[in-house]
Amino acid sequence: MEITLSKTRLEFIETVGRMCQQLGLPRSIGQIYGLLYLSPASLSLDDIAEQLSISKGSASTGTRQLASWQAIKQVWVPGDRRDYFEAVGNLRDLLESIYRNYFKPKLEKGGRKLDSLLATLEEERQQGAVSPEDYAFFKERLDNIARLEDRISRVLPIAEKLL
């Protein structure tokens, strides 16, 4: 389906793409969502790839990721065998899903890795594998990260309730 990419649409698509990029996600995922969000009709992978000037593979990967977050849904178009997609309009649900399925697991994994690093550092201290000066420096830096991680973990339940 050919849609007109007006200045408003183009700016929105680029803004959502940049937001995703700043969050550590592929820019194309944001662009795909932005395109679908402001599309009055469902779009096929070919439509998405053409409108955004991206490969069909990139469009396919992006739509699969967005569908797993329940940000978009696949729709059936009678008489057409291609996959079509449309955005789910509830941004609250989208943010909650991205947080639950993307950011929360990454934060939890980071916390486990920090615990592992602290344990390894303690083992190295006991074995004499690090100098007392290095141990003190590393410990101070890792403790700073641990305090930040602790603050984040205390705020997360509040953030979850806000979503």
Which of 66, 70, 68, 49 is CA-nearest to residue 58? 49
Is residue 119, in this structure, part of any structural domain at all?
yes
43 is in which domain, residue-wise? 7-89
The total domain count for the chain is 2
22-62, pLDDT tens digit by residue? 888 899 999 999 999 999 899 999 999 999 999 999 999 99
Which of 93, 97, 78, 46 is CA-nearest to residue 32? 46
Q: What is the pTM of this model?
A: 0.67
Task: Tell me how far apart the alpha carbons of residues 20 and 69 are, in angstroms, rounded to a whole number.
Answer: 14
Alpha carbon 16 to its chain centroid, in Å, reads: 12
Residues 64, 131 within the same domain:
no
Residue 109 pLDDT: 87
Residues 112, 45 within the same domain:
no
77-114, pLDDT tens digit by residue? 888 889 899 998 777 777 777 777 777 888 888 888 98
